[in-house]
Chains A and B, each alone.
Chain A
Amino acid sequence: MSYFTHRTNPDPFLLAAAGVGLAAAGVGLALWQRRRNADRPAFPTDAPHWTKERKSDRALFGKSLLINRPREELFAAWDAKRFPEFMENVVAVEEAGDGVSKWTIKAPAGREVTLVNRITETIPGESIFWQSTPESDIANSGEVRFTDAPNGRGTYVSLILAYDPPGGTLGRLGAKLLQREPEVQARRDLHRFKQLMETGEVTSNASPSARSSETATQPHI
């Protein structure tokens, strides 16, 4: 009797365990397939370097967005004076002369970090490269690149960033969970730059709700 009862009402935990087992088998198979493929010489790719799989201590991140404005206009707007308009986590940018700037940035758990970066190369209308100096709290380097999009579509703007995550991989994961990780911040800031350039304002969903923790003028997730 109990045998049939079990058959018609399978234990949800057993079902879940079976599901986990299937998933694990799938992951194992994928890893095995991947290792097999790793022995094969790779054909040189045309993909941007930041999209390649790689092993590195530095977190490398790149994001490109199509912005429906001319390249020169966007290059001119990428100016430290305007950064607080669209970089949500940038508290202040101070110019220290000689291409060096000091950035105060919001970090997880209400802290602030200071980045000291030097612009190492500027190609007018095309690219700005930077590299952190030894005083910087976080070692980082990066590039912002402006490329014409085809057929009058505007400009591809690429933000490429490499940095040493404080606390290593775990620290990075924690910062991601707190939405204060540089990759998350940079991607969102790039979207805000696009919104500002295309629409003249930074998009906000600020509107009322029946949640007492929110106001009608603050954006929410």
Chain B
Amino acid sequence: MRAVTWQGRHKISVETVPDPEIVNPRDAILRVTSTAICGSDLHLYDGYIPGMRAGDIVGHEFMGEVVETGAGSTLKKGQRVVVPFTISCGQCFFCERQQFSACDNSNPSETRDASELMMGHAMGAAFGYAHLTGGYAGGQAEYVRVPYSDVGPVVIPDDLSDDDVLFLSDILPTGWQAAVNADIEPGDTVAVWGCGPVGLFTIQAALLLGAERVIAIDHFPTRLALARKYGAEVLDYREVDVREALDEMTGGIGPDACIDCVGMESHGFTVDNVLDQVKAKFYLGTERPHALRQAILACRKGGRLSIPGVYGGFTDKFPLGQLMEKGLTVKSGQTHVQRYTGELLDMIRDGKFDTVSLISHHAPLEDAAEMYRHWHDEQNSYTKIVLKPGLPKGAIEAVQEMAHA
């Protein structure tokens, strides 16, 4: 089959590789119909995530048709399913508490040692995301093996299109959990750093969960326009002092909840971020948490900090005293996707979420290398890319004209 592979920093290539096979009874094999490139795939692309090996098949946002099932799978051939990016057994201590991304069985015994050494405890597994999280092949391919297929995959009714539901695999539940973790109360002002796909879903989720207002921060006009369309007030950090603006918009107390949808690769020409960039260049650090630092300083005393943005390791110049003295509550973590897919599918059917207007491009799987480059370099015009294994090479479709860009 054809698959998108990671070959090194800024090196993505589409290769012919062996087809996946059923290995364990609970497995299923999917023929992938749609697979998106995620913001966190850029961390792999930029070489910031340790534990990648040349030749790894990437991609953790995908859906498709069931073509083969193991004896223990509850899926049936021909069903359309969306697959959570987190691989979770459903039966361990963590899965039983619905902390699916912490699954204690999905990271195999061979790969969990390094993960345990680095994190203190081995992380759960994910598709197409480094060997610290299991080393499973990803879904940016024609076919993919899905372990524990009786637990994770969401069966999709025929009347919903791929674009309607694809994001149940990661970014929609991630945005939802980000807002849930902000413990939103009536009257709250919620500030969201980053208007990438996760940020855009966080904005929608925060409003659905009862936030009085959402203030979104970014610098790409297209993304700010989408944020406004979804109901947020927007700040372009190139034009305003973000903390001053947030204070002035909240009577001086700051937002009740701050959500960092940026993660380890903050943009912005600030002293701390320039230092972090230099250190990252020399492999002295991986994290560039400028947005998180700003969120901590901006948050109101006794407020809540939710961190769905991905971080990989150690950081410095972290405002720990500010976090403590202000008495912030912090919630974070990879998304417990399986916990939310049921209710979110219902909400999509009820039209509560706009899941399609952030898609800027449909492209063939064969053009993945070019698409990664655009996704990395042109974040204003490329707001979300969906790869289609069925399309012939070169058949790239710009879904929306970005009139406001």
- Using CB atoms and an 8 Å cutoff, list the residues of chain A in contact with chain B: 66, 68, 153-154, 184, 187-189, 191-192, 194-195, 198-211, 215-217, 219-221
Contact = CB atoms under 8 A, between A and B. Distances in A.
Nearest to B90: A199
A211 B131 CA distance: 14
B347 interface: no
B111 A204 contact: no
Contact of A205 (B15, B54, B55, B125): B125
B20 A192 contact: no
Contacts of A204: 23-24, 108, 147
A209 B137 contact: yes
Given A199-B89, A221-B131, A210 B3 contact: yes
Given A203-B147, A207-B57, A211-B55, A216 B19 contact: yes
A188 B217 CA distance: 46
B26 A201 contact: yes
Interface stretch (B91-99, B175-183, B333-341, B373-381): B91-99
B19 A188 contact: no
Interface in B16-30: 17-21, 23-26
Contacts of A199: 26, 89-92, 105, 148
B5 interface: yes
Best-buried of A187, A188, A192, A216 by chain B (most CB within 10 Å): A216
B106 A68 contact: no
Contact of B135 (A68, A192, A202, A221): A221
Nearest to A194: B105
Most buried by B among A189, A195, A203, A206: A203
B53 interface: yes
Interface string B1-38: 10101010000010101111101111000000000000
B110 A188 contact: yes
Contacts of A220: 110, 135
B196 to A, nearest CB: 28
A211 B108 contact: no
Given A210-B55, A216-B21, 17 more contacts: A66-B93, A68-B93, A188-B113, A191-B112, A199-B91, A201-B26, A203-B24, A203-B89, A204-B147, A205-B110, A205-B134, A207-B57, A207-B145, A208-B137, A209-B57, A210-B13, A220-B135
